[in-house]
Amino acid sequence: MCLRKMGLGKKTRLFLLVIAGLLIALSLYNIYRVFQEPLMVNKHVPVYSFRHQGKMDYRVQLKPNTIISETEMGPDKTYYSKLVKSIDTDFSYHYTADQPAKLKVIYGVIAVVESPKMWKKEFPLVPETVLEDEGKTISFNRPFSFNLESYQEYLKNANEQLGVSAKEPRVVIRADVNVVADSAAGKSSEKLTPSMEIPLDSGEFKIGGTLSPEDSGALTAAQMVPNPGLWERKIRAVLFLGILILLGAILLLRTEVKESVPIREVDLICKQYSDRLVKAGKDFLVPDDLVFVPLDSMDDLIKVADEAGKPLIFQDAAAPDMKPICCVLDGLTVYKYMITDYGGVAVQNNMETVLPSGGEEVWQQET
Protein backbone atom coordinates (compact mmCIF):
# COMPACT_ATOMS: atom_id res chain seq x y z
CA MET A 1 0.00 0.00 0.00
CA CYS A 2 1.47 3.32 -1.09
CA LEU A 3 1.11 6.07 1.53
CA ARG A 4 0.41 9.53 0.24
CA LYS A 5 3.03 12.14 1.08
CA MET A 6 2.06 15.14 3.16
CA GLY A 7 2.04 18.42 1.25
CA LEU A 8 3.92 21.33 2.81
CA GLY A 9 4.67 24.81 1.60
CA LYS A 10 8.10 25.21 0.06
CA LYS A 11 9.33 27.66 2.70
CA THR A 12 7.80 25.67 5.56
CA ARG A 13 9.41 22.43 4.39
CA LEU A 14 12.78 24.11 3.89
CA PHE A 15 12.59 25.71 7.33
CA LEU A 16 11.79 22.39 9.02
CA LEU A 17 14.63 20.63 7.16
CA VAL A 18 17.12 23.35 8.22
CA ILE A 19 16.01 23.09 11.87
CA ALA A 20 16.29 19.31 11.78
CA GLY A 21 19.78 19.58 10.26
CA LEU A 22 20.94 22.02 12.94
CA LEU A 23 19.59 19.81 15.73
CA ILE A 24 21.34 16.76 14.25
CA ALA A 25 24.61 18.72 14.02
CA LEU A 26 24.32 19.82 17.66
CA SER A 27 23.49 16.27 18.68
CA LEU A 28 26.58 14.96 16.86
CA TYR A 29 28.72 17.52 18.69
CA ASN A 30 27.16 16.47 22.00
CA ILE A 31 27.96 12.81 21.27
CA TYR A 32 31.56 13.75 20.44
CA ARG A 33 31.85 15.74 23.68
CA VAL A 34 30.31 12.99 25.84
CA PHE A 35 32.45 10.22 24.34
CA GLN A 36 35.58 12.31 24.96
CA GLU A 37 34.98 12.29 28.72
CA PRO A 38 37.34 10.02 30.66
CA LEU A 39 36.03 6.84 32.25
CA MET A 40 37.80 7.67 35.54
CA VAL A 41 38.03 11.09 37.18
CA ASN A 42 40.05 12.46 40.06
CA LYS A 43 37.77 13.29 42.97
CA HIS A 44 38.35 14.35 46.57
CA VAL A 45 36.66 11.89 48.90
CA PRO A 46 36.52 11.99 52.73
CA VAL A 47 38.97 9.63 54.41
CA TYR A 48 38.49 10.83 57.99
CA SER A 49 35.23 12.42 59.19
CA PHE A 50 34.46 13.84 62.60
CA ARG A 51 31.87 15.78 64.60
CA HIS A 52 32.28 17.58 67.92
CA GLN A 53 29.96 19.46 70.23
CA GLY A 54 30.35 21.58 73.34
CA LYS A 55 27.68 22.51 75.84
CA MET A 56 27.34 24.87 78.80
CA ASP A 57 24.59 23.88 81.19
CA TYR A 58 23.99 26.04 84.25
CA ARG A 59 21.98 26.53 87.42
CA VAL A 60 21.62 29.94 89.12
CA GLN A 61 21.95 29.86 92.93
CA LEU A 62 19.93 32.51 94.77
CA LYS A 63 20.63 34.44 97.96
CA PRO A 64 18.14 34.09 100.80
CA ASN A 65 15.27 36.56 100.24
CA THR A 66 11.59 37.07 101.05
CA ILE A 67 10.46 37.32 97.40
CA ILE A 68 11.45 34.04 95.77
CA SER A 69 11.16 30.86 97.77
CA GLU A 70 13.41 28.74 95.51
CA THR A 71 17.11 28.51 96.26
CA GLU A 72 18.10 27.93 92.62
CA MET A 73 16.70 28.52 89.13
CA GLY A 74 17.22 26.57 85.94
CA PRO A 75 18.14 27.75 82.43
CA ASP A 76 16.14 30.13 80.24
CA LYS A 77 14.69 32.14 83.10
CA THR A 78 14.74 35.82 84.02
CA TYR A 79 17.17 36.46 86.90
CA TYR A 80 17.63 39.41 89.29
CA SER A 81 21.20 40.59 89.78
CA LYS A 82 20.88 41.39 93.50
CA LEU A 83 19.52 37.92 94.22
CA VAL A 84 22.19 35.97 92.32
CA LYS A 85 24.58 34.23 94.67
CA SER A 86 26.50 32.23 92.07
CA ILE A 87 26.09 30.55 88.69
CA ASP A 88 27.06 26.88 88.74
CA THR A 89 28.10 25.76 85.27
CA ASP A 90 28.65 22.29 83.87
CA PHE A 91 30.82 22.45 80.76
CA SER A 92 30.91 19.28 78.61
CA TYR A 93 32.56 18.37 75.31
CA HIS A 94 32.27 15.34 73.01
CA TYR A 95 34.28 14.43 69.91
CA THR A 96 33.59 11.44 67.64
CA ALA A 97 35.14 10.25 64.38
CA ASP A 98 34.72 7.39 61.91
CA GLN A 99 38.36 6.28 62.12
CA PRO A 100 40.65 5.74 65.13
CA ALA A 101 43.28 8.41 65.78
CA LYS A 102 45.50 9.88 68.45
CA LEU A 103 43.35 12.58 70.03
CA LYS A 104 44.52 15.59 71.99
CA VAL A 105 42.16 18.17 73.49
CA ILE A 106 43.34 21.46 74.98
CA TYR A 107 40.73 23.59 76.70
CA GLY A 108 40.33 26.44 79.17
CA VAL A 109 37.58 28.78 80.39
CA ILE A 110 37.87 32.53 80.89
CA ALA A 111 35.49 35.34 81.89
CA VAL A 112 35.77 38.44 79.71
CA VAL A 113 34.37 41.63 81.23
CA GLU A 114 34.00 44.14 78.41
CA SER A 115 32.38 47.19 77.02
CA PRO A 116 32.32 46.54 73.27
CA LYS A 117 34.44 49.03 71.29
CA MET A 118 35.82 50.48 74.54
CA TRP A 119 37.74 48.02 76.72
CA LYS A 120 37.82 44.44 78.03
CA LYS A 121 39.44 42.45 80.81
CA GLU A 122 39.98 38.69 81.02
CA PHE A 123 39.71 36.61 84.20
CA PRO A 124 40.64 32.89 84.18
CA LEU A 125 38.01 30.48 85.49
CA VAL A 126 39.42 27.11 84.39
CA PRO A 127 43.14 26.91 83.65
CA GLU A 128 44.35 25.40 80.40
CA THR A 129 43.94 21.64 80.55
CA VAL A 130 45.23 18.91 78.23
CA LEU A 131 43.51 15.57 77.62
CA GLU A 132 44.90 12.80 75.42
CA ASP A 133 43.40 9.55 74.26
CA GLU A 134 43.47 7.18 71.31
CA GLY A 135 40.41 5.89 69.49
CA LYS A 136 37.35 7.28 67.76
CA THR A 137 35.95 9.38 70.61
CA ILE A 138 37.06 11.63 73.41
CA SER A 139 34.93 13.60 75.86
CA PHE A 140 35.09 15.36 79.21
CA ASN A 141 32.89 17.17 81.72
CA ARG A 142 34.18 20.11 83.76
CA PRO A 143 32.02 21.91 86.38
CA PHE A 144 32.92 25.41 87.59
CA SER A 145 31.18 28.25 89.36
CA PHE A 146 31.33 32.05 89.30
CA ASN A 147 29.46 35.03 90.74
CA LEU A 148 28.62 38.41 89.26
CA GLU A 149 29.59 40.65 92.16
CA SER A 150 33.31 40.64 91.39
CA TYR A 151 32.67 41.55 87.76
CA GLN A 152 30.19 44.27 88.70
CA GLU A 153 32.76 45.69 91.12
CA TYR A 154 35.41 45.74 88.38
CA LEU A 155 32.96 47.53 86.06
CA LYS A 156 32.29 50.15 88.75
CA ASN A 157 36.02 50.81 89.24
CA ALA A 158 36.58 51.03 85.48
CA ASN A 159 33.84 53.62 85.10
CA GLU A 160 35.30 55.69 87.95
CA GLN A 161 38.85 55.56 86.57
CA LEU A 162 37.83 56.37 82.98
CA GLY A 163 35.33 59.00 83.99
CA VAL A 164 32.73 57.63 81.55
CA SER A 165 30.14 54.92 81.90
CA ALA A 166 30.66 51.79 79.86
CA LYS A 167 28.21 51.20 77.04
CA GLU A 168 26.43 47.87 77.08
CA PRO A 169 28.83 46.25 79.58
CA ARG A 170 28.70 42.49 79.84
CA VAL A 171 30.59 39.44 81.02
CA VAL A 172 31.24 36.65 78.52
CA ILE A 173 32.09 33.22 79.90
CA ARG A 174 34.05 31.63 77.05
CA ALA A 175 35.45 28.12 76.73
CA ASP A 176 38.23 27.70 74.17
CA VAL A 177 38.56 24.11 72.93
CA ASN A 178 41.22 23.00 70.49
CA VAL A 179 41.24 19.34 69.40
CA VAL A 180 44.01 17.71 67.35
CA ALA A 181 43.48 14.33 65.69
CA ASP A 182 46.47 12.43 64.26
CA SER A 183 45.05 9.64 62.08
CA ALA A 184 46.34 7.41 59.29
CA ALA A 185 44.73 9.83 56.81
CA GLY A 186 46.59 12.82 58.25
CA LYS A 187 46.38 15.41 61.00
CA SER A 188 43.42 17.71 61.65
CA SER A 189 43.03 20.59 64.08
CA GLU A 190 39.67 22.08 64.98
CA LYS A 191 38.37 24.70 67.42
CA LEU A 192 35.09 25.13 69.23
CA THR A 193 34.04 28.05 71.45
CA PRO A 194 30.93 27.67 73.64
CA SER A 195 30.03 30.87 75.47
CA MET A 196 27.59 32.54 77.90
CA GLU A 197 26.73 36.25 77.77
CA ILE A 198 25.38 38.15 80.79
CA PRO A 199 24.67 41.92 80.85
CA LEU A 200 26.12 43.84 83.83
CA ASP A 201 24.09 47.07 83.65
CA SER A 202 20.63 45.67 84.29
CA GLY A 203 18.80 44.72 87.46
CA GLU A 204 17.27 41.77 85.65
CA PHE A 205 18.78 39.70 82.89
CA LYS A 206 18.68 36.56 80.79
CA ILE A 207 21.67 34.44 79.91
CA GLY A 208 22.44 34.29 76.18
CA GLY A 209 25.35 33.33 74.01
CA THR A 210 26.33 30.22 72.06
CA LEU A 211 25.65 27.62 74.70
CA SER A 212 25.67 24.44 72.55
CA PRO A 213 27.81 24.89 69.42
CA GLU A 214 28.61 21.91 67.20
CA ASP A 215 30.61 21.43 64.05
CA SER A 216 31.77 18.71 61.70
CA GLY A 217 34.49 18.24 59.13
CA ALA A 218 36.57 15.77 57.22
CA LEU A 219 40.01 15.10 55.82
CA THR A 220 39.85 14.42 52.10
CA ALA A 221 42.15 12.71 49.63
CA ALA A 222 42.21 12.63 45.84
CA GLN A 223 41.20 9.28 44.37
CA MET A 224 40.38 7.99 40.90
CA VAL A 225 36.70 7.07 40.77
CA PRO A 226 34.34 6.14 37.89
CA ASN A 227 32.99 9.18 36.08
CA PRO A 228 29.53 9.56 37.67
CA GLY A 229 26.63 9.37 35.21
CA LEU A 230 28.85 8.90 32.15
CA TRP A 231 27.03 5.87 30.73
CA GLU A 232 23.64 7.52 31.24
CA ARG A 233 24.83 10.62 29.35
CA LYS A 234 26.13 8.45 26.48
CA ILE A 235 22.86 6.54 26.18
CA ARG A 236 20.80 9.76 26.22
CA ALA A 237 23.01 11.36 23.58
CA VAL A 238 22.76 8.36 21.21
CA LEU A 239 19.00 8.03 21.69
CA PHE A 240 18.46 11.73 21.06
CA LEU A 241 20.49 11.56 17.84
CA GLY A 242 18.55 8.50 16.70
CA ILE A 243 15.22 10.24 17.28
CA LEU A 244 16.38 13.33 15.37
CA ILE A 245 17.61 11.24 12.42
CA LEU A 246 14.28 9.37 12.32
CA LEU A 247 12.29 12.59 12.36
CA GLY A 248 14.54 14.10 9.70
CA ALA A 249 14.10 11.03 7.48
CA ILE A 250 10.32 11.19 7.87
CA LEU A 251 10.36 14.89 7.01
CA LEU A 252 12.56 14.30 3.97
CA LEU A 253 10.89 11.17 2.58
CA ARG A 254 7.26 11.52 3.62
CA THR A 255 6.67 15.19 2.75
CA GLU A 256 6.68 17.09 -0.51
CA VAL A 257 6.22 20.62 -1.72
CA LYS A 258 2.55 21.39 -2.22
CA GLU A 259 1.89 22.25 -5.88
CA SER A 260 0.31 25.58 -6.81
CA VAL A 261 -3.37 25.28 -7.72
CA PRO A 262 -4.72 27.73 -10.33
CA ILE A 263 -7.93 29.44 -9.30
CA ARG A 264 -10.41 30.68 -11.89
CA GLU A 265 -11.16 34.35 -11.71
CA VAL A 266 -14.85 33.61 -11.80
CA ASP A 267 -14.51 31.55 -8.62
CA LEU A 268 -12.63 34.35 -6.92
CA ILE A 269 -15.27 36.90 -7.84
CA CYS A 270 -18.10 34.69 -6.67
CA LYS A 271 -16.33 34.14 -3.35
CA GLN A 272 -15.29 37.73 -2.76
CA TYR A 273 -18.54 39.43 -3.81
CA SER A 274 -21.07 36.72 -2.99
CA ASP A 275 -23.16 39.10 -0.86
CA ARG A 276 -23.48 41.63 -3.72
CA LEU A 277 -23.88 39.48 -6.82
CA VAL A 278 -27.27 38.85 -8.39
CA LYS A 279 -27.06 35.71 -10.49
CA ALA A 280 -28.99 35.93 -13.75
CA GLY A 281 -30.56 32.95 -15.46
CA LYS A 282 -29.41 31.51 -18.76
CA ASP A 283 -32.28 33.24 -20.63
CA PHE A 284 -31.22 36.70 -19.44
CA LEU A 285 -30.35 38.89 -22.46
CA VAL A 286 -29.26 42.48 -22.55
CA PRO A 287 -31.01 44.40 -25.37
CA ASP A 288 -28.70 45.35 -28.22
CA ASP A 289 -29.94 48.94 -28.36
CA LEU A 290 -28.35 49.78 -25.01
CA VAL A 291 -25.00 51.51 -24.72
CA PHE A 292 -22.30 49.03 -23.67
CA VAL A 293 -19.33 50.34 -21.71
CA PRO A 294 -16.63 47.68 -21.23
CA LEU A 295 -14.49 47.98 -18.10
CA ASP A 296 -10.98 46.70 -17.52
CA SER A 297 -11.36 45.40 -13.99
CA MET A 298 -13.82 44.22 -11.39
CA ASP A 299 -12.77 47.06 -9.12
CA ASP A 300 -13.96 49.60 -11.70
CA LEU A 301 -17.30 47.80 -11.94
CA ILE A 302 -17.68 47.89 -8.16
CA LYS A 303 -17.09 51.66 -8.18
CA VAL A 304 -19.77 52.11 -10.85
CA ALA A 305 -22.25 49.99 -8.85
CA ASP A 306 -21.57 52.03 -5.72
CA GLU A 307 -21.98 55.35 -7.51
CA ALA A 308 -25.18 54.30 -9.31
CA GLY A 309 -26.59 52.35 -6.40
CA LYS A 310 -27.28 49.41 -8.68
CA PRO A 311 -26.76 45.69 -8.10
CA LEU A 312 -24.02 43.60 -9.65
CA ILE A 313 -25.49 41.16 -12.17
CA PHE A 314 -23.55 37.99 -12.80
CA GLN A 315 -24.22 35.68 -15.72
CA ASP A 316 -22.28 32.44 -16.14
CA ALA A 317 -21.09 31.30 -19.55
CA ALA A 318 -23.99 29.83 -21.47
CA ALA A 319 -21.77 28.02 -23.99
CA PRO A 320 -18.15 26.78 -24.10
CA ASP A 321 -17.16 29.58 -26.46
CA MET A 322 -18.66 32.24 -24.21
CA LYS A 323 -17.29 33.92 -21.14
CA PRO A 324 -19.05 34.80 -17.88
CA ILE A 325 -19.73 38.46 -17.34
CA CYS A 326 -20.54 40.87 -14.55
CA CYS A 327 -22.48 43.99 -15.39
CA VAL A 328 -24.35 46.96 -13.95
CA LEU A 329 -27.49 48.29 -15.66
CA ASP A 330 -27.89 52.05 -15.24
CA GLY A 331 -30.69 53.30 -17.43
CA LEU A 332 -29.75 52.83 -21.07
CA THR A 333 -26.11 52.14 -20.21
CA VAL A 334 -24.64 48.76 -19.48
CA TYR A 335 -21.27 48.65 -17.66
CA LYS A 336 -19.75 45.23 -18.08
CA TYR A 337 -16.63 43.32 -17.16
CA MET A 338 -15.78 40.22 -19.18
CA ILE A 339 -14.42 37.48 -16.88
CA THR A 340 -11.67 35.19 -18.13
CA ASP A 341 -11.80 31.56 -17.05
CA TYR A 342 -8.29 31.53 -15.65
CA GLY A 343 -7.58 35.13 -14.91
CA GLY A 344 -6.86 34.50 -11.23
CA VAL A 345 -3.67 33.76 -9.32
CA ALA A 346 -2.12 30.54 -8.09
CA VAL A 347 -3.01 29.58 -4.52
CA GLN A 348 -0.53 27.64 -2.37
CA ASN A 349 -0.32 26.66 1.31
CA ASN A 350 -3.86 27.81 2.02
CA MET A 351 -2.79 31.47 1.89
CA GLU A 352 -5.45 34.12 1.27
CA THR A 353 -5.84 34.92 -2.45
CA VAL A 354 -6.08 38.56 -3.52
CA LEU A 355 -8.00 39.25 -6.71
CA PRO A 356 -5.93 41.20 -9.25
CA SER A 357 -7.44 44.56 -10.25
CA GLY A 358 -6.79 44.45 -13.94
CA GLY A 359 -3.58 44.76 -15.86
CA GLU A 360 -1.48 41.74 -16.77
CA GLU A 361 -3.30 38.39 -16.92
CA VAL A 362 -1.71 35.53 -14.99
CA TRP A 363 -3.52 32.74 -16.80
CA GLN A 364 -4.49 32.75 -20.48
CA GLN A 365 -7.78 31.23 -21.56
CA GLU A 366 -7.51 28.52 -24.13
CA THR A 367 -9.48 29.28 -27.26
Amino acid 285: pLDDT: 79
Q: What residue spans define the domains of the chain? A: 6-39+227-257, 46-224, 262-347
DSSP class per residue in 82-118: GGEEEEEEEEEEEEEEEEEEEEEEEEEEEEEEEETTT
Residues 337 and 324: their CA atoms lie apart, in Å, by 9
Task: Please list the pLDDT of the chain residue by residue as tens digits (367 residues).
Answer: 556 778 788 888 889 889 999 999 999 999 999 999 898 888 888 889 999 999 999 999 999 998 888 899 999 999 999 999 999 999 999 999 999 999 999 999 999 999 888 899 999 999 999 999 999 999 999 999 999 999 999 999 999 998 888 888 999 999 999 999 998 888 999 999 999 999 998 889 999 999 999 999 998 878 888 888 889 999 999 999 999 999 989 888 888 887 666 777 778 888 888 888 888 887 777 788 888 999 988 889 999 999 888 888 888 776 667 788 899 998 889 998 888 754 444 444 333 333 333 333 332 333 3
Query: Within its chain, how far is the Cα of 195 from the centroid?
Result: 41
**Quick one: which of 360, 251, 269, 353 has its CA closest to 316?**
269
Q: Using an 8 Å Cβ cutoff, are 75 and 106 in contact?
A: no
Question: Which pLDDT does position 45 carry in this prediction?
Answer: 83
Torsion of CA 68, 71, 75, 78, to 10 degrees: 20
Residue 331: which residues within 8 A CB-CB, separation 6 or more? Answer: none
Residue 211 has, within 13 A of its CA and on its CB side, a CA count of 13
| Residue 305 amino acid letter | A
